[in-house]
Amino acid sequence: MTNFPLPRLDKDPELNKLLLPYCRLKFGEMWTDEQKLHRVACIDACDISAVQKMLGEEKAVLAIQDPPYNFVAFEEHKVERFISWCELWIENTFNALYENSSLYIWLGADQNDNFQPFPQFILMMADSGFNSKSFLTMRNQRGYGTQKNWMAIRQELLFYVKGNPDFYIDAEYTDIPKVLKGYYKKVNGKVTENFERSKSENIRAGNVWIDIQQVFYRMEENVNGCFAQKPLKAIERIIQASSQKGELVMDLFSHSGSTLLAAEKLNRRAFVSDIDPIFCEISIRRLERYRNKGKTGWQNSNPFANEILKDKELKNYLVDKYDIKIPNRIYADNEELIF
Ligand SMILES: C[S@@+](CC[C@H](N)C(=O)[O-])C[C@H]1O[C@@H](n2cnc3c(N)ncnc32)[C@H](O)[C@@H]1O
């Protein structure tokens, strides 16, 4: 495994400056994929005309949104400001979706501060035009330990609908085998147990997902530099439950490009955006890497490894500031040398 991580990109403006020349989008620009017509736009999710321009004449059947939760932390009126900000991209999402469509939102809740912004957010959603459908929880196995409280291992996921979209239940089965017999019920006068009644040998995911591993550096899908990457398995489950092949999925906060990649893998089209050109570039590179190498991420290497090896300033910066050991060579997928 190549050991060539990048630090969190959101915490280091200087590193951002050094990486920007390697990004093909500037703020306000859009990349259109020639093969499958996905789109990646470098825009503000709250900008009505920019989001409309990204959609063009099209509408999506599914939106998966993962906003930054705490970007106004420590400011006065932070929750109110966060909610007003959310209202804008929620309205943009509503307008970008078909009459019958689905919306999933990943949202945090600060347990040390009255669980904000969760309650304020769900109240705001009551007037958004969307109807609540489910409150899911994904077990986030990288939770932080504490001796004084329950270990925090949950990740909240809200499911809303606009109109009455289809829900494809087969997508909802996990790879966990059923082990418990029971749940007897009379069907046509005969007592049956759950194994006889069910369609599958495996258990349904339900609205508590315990079978998904949080992304970390040993997993192929890991994208170093990203700090909020959602597991592909979760995004794929959402896409399969709430869209069909060929349909359009959108994500206004693309980051590592998980929605774009999951859509590619499952033969959907995706229109995604991020306000940051570096995350737009990472999203595009991740798609290209998957197509060229069949890999879903960089494991413990990083999306800009080739550039870093060739760019002295960038290389020295990482060595001086983070003491990163720059490998002499990178073995691409253990077979060919990149440089
Ligand atoms: C929590 S991350 C999304 C993670 C993503 N679901 C994934 O799996 O990689 C939030 C992203 O939103 C982007 N962002 C923040 N404010 C934005 C805005 N106003 N418009 C568009 N993107 C924004 C950030 O640059 C960041 O990449």
- For the CA of 252, the nearest atom of ligand 1: 21
pLDDT number for residue 144: 64
- For residue 100, pLDDT beyond 80: yes
Q: Is the Cβ atom of 162 under 6 angstroms away from ligand 1?
A: no
131 CA distance to ligand 1 middle (Å): 24
Q: 62 is written with which tokens?
A: 């599914």
- Ligand 1 centroid–CA 68 distance in Å is 6
Instruction: Return the sign of the alpha-carbon dihedral for residues 60, 259, 228, 233.
Output: positive
Specify the pLDDT at position 256.
98
Identify the DSSP state of 26: -
Q: SS3 of 236, please?
A: helix
307: domain range? 9-337
Q: Look at 172 and 93; give whichever has higher pLDDT.
A: 93
Assess if residue 3 is contained within a domain: no
| Closest atom of ligand 1 to CA, residue 258 | 8
- Give the number of the atom of ligand 1 that is nearest the alpha carbon of residue 64: 6
Residue minimizing CA distance to atom 17 of ligand 1: 275
Question: Can you read off the two tokens belonging to residue 159?
Answer: 């499911």
Ligand 1 neighbour 66 (Cβ under 6 A): yes
Q: Is residue 2 included in any domain, yes or no?
A: no
pLDDT tens readout for residues 204-242: 889 999 999 999 999 999 999 998 999 999 999 999 999
- Please compute the mean of the pLDDT values over residues 127-141 and round it to a whole number: 95
| Cβ(226) – ligand 1 distance below 6 Å | yes
Mean pLDDT of 59-87: 85
Please indicate, yes or no, if residue 91 is contained in any of the structural domains.
Answer: yes
Nearest to 89 by CA among 251, 307, 225: 251
Q: What is the CATH number of the domain that holds 48?
A: 3.40.50.150
**Selection from 296, 283, 225, 277 nearest residue 255 by Cα:** 283
- What pTM did the predictor assign? 0.92
Q: Is the pLDDT of residue 72 over 60?
A: no
**275 within ligand 1 shell (Cβ under 6 A):** yes
pLDDT band of 334, cuts 50, 70, 90: very low
| pLDDT at residue 196, rounded to an integer | 73
Question: What separation in Å is there between the alpha carbon of 234 and the centre of ligand 1?
Answer: 17
Is the CB–ligand 1 distance for residue 45 below 6 Å?
yes
Q: What is the pLDDT of residue 44?
A: 98
* In a domain? residue 66: yes
Q: What is the pLDDT of residues 176-200, one digit of tens each?
A: 888 777 677 888 888 887 777 776 7
Residue-wise pLDDT tens digits, 295-322: 999 999 999 999 998 999 999 999 999 9
Q: Is position 238 within any domain? A: yes
Partners of 104 in the β-ladder: 64, 159
- How far is ligand 1, taken at its centre, from the CA of residue 134, in Å? 23
The pLDDT, as a whole number, for residue 77 is 65
Does the pLDDT at position 70 exceed 80? no
Question: Contact, 291 vs 35, CB < 8 A?
Answer: yes
Report the distance separating Cα 74 and Cα 127, nearest Å: 27
**Confidence band for 336, pLDDT divided at 50, 70 and 90:** very low
User: Probe ligand 1: pick from 273, 274, 280, 281, max atoms within 8 Å of CB?
Assistant: 274
- Nearest in space to 286 (alpha carbons), one of 263, 307, 314: 263
105 lines ligand 1 (CB under 6 A): no
pLDDT greater at residue 35 or residue 199: 35
Residue 1 resides in a domain: no
Tell whether 83 is covered by a domain: yes
Distance between first and last Cα of the chain: 17
Ligand 1: atom nearest CA of 254 is 5
Which atom of ligand 1 lies nearest, measured to the CA of 274?
A: 22
Q: What would the mean pLDDT of 94-113 be, rounded to a whole number?
A: 96
Question: How far, in Å, from the CA of 99 to the mean position of ligand 1?
Answer: 26
Number of domains within the chain:
1
CA of 329 to the centre of ligand 1 (A): 32
Predicted confidence band at 260 (pLDDT cuts at 50, 70, 90)? Answer: very high
> Torsions phi, psi of 156, nearest 5?
-80, 145
User: Which residue CA neighbors atom 6 of ligand 1 most closely?
Assistant: 66
Could you tell me if residue 181 is inside a domain? Answer: yes
Residue nearest to atom 12 of ligand 1 (CA): 253
Q: Whose CA is nearest to atom 27 of ligand 1?
A: 255
From 255, 259, 284, 287, the mutation candidate for ligand 1 (largest count of ligand atoms within 8 A of CB) is: 255
